[in-house]
Amino acid sequence: MIRLMRLSRHGLRCLLAFVVFVATLAPCEAAASVNAPVLLRILTPRTGEMIHSNQDKVAVRLLVLPASAFQKGLKIRMMLDGKIRPRVRRRASFTMDHVYRGKHALQAALVTKNGRIVTVSPVVVFYLWHASHFFHAASIQHAR
Domain harbouring 31, CATH code = 2.60.40.10
Give the count of domains, the chain.
1
Domain membership of residue 77 (yes or no) is yes
Q: Which of the pair, 98 or 138, is modelled with greater confidence? A: 98
Average pLDDT over residues 2-24: 47
Q: Are 43 and 62 in contact (CB under 8 A)?
A: yes
Domain membership of residue 111 (yes or no) is yes
At 53 the pLDDT is 84
Q: Is 73 left (phi over 0), alpha (psi -120 to 50) or beta?
A: left
At 25 the pLDDT is 43
At residue 15, does pLDDT exceed 70?
A: no
Which structural domain, as residue segments, surrounds residue 85? 27-132
Domain membership of residue 22 (yes or no) is no
Average pLDDT over residues 88-97: 90
Domain membership of residue 113 (yes or no) is yes
Domain membership of residue 48 (yes or no) is yes
3-state secondary structure 25-47: CCCCHHHHHHCCCCEEEEEECCC
Domain membership of residue 94 (yes or no) is yes
How far is 126 from 104, CA to CA, in rounded Å? 5
Strand 50-52 relative to strand 124-129, pairing: parallel
Q: How far is CA 50 from the centre of its chain?
A: 14
Percent of the chain residues past pLDDT 90, beyond the cut = 36
Domain membership of residue 144 (yes or no) is no
Q: Structure pTM?
A: 0.64
At 46 the pLDDT is 94
Q: What number of CA atoms fall less than 13 Å from residue 111's CA on the CB side?
A: 15
Q: What is the pLDDT of residues 102-144, one digit of tens each?
A: 999 999 999 988 889 989 999 999 999 977 766 655 555 555 5
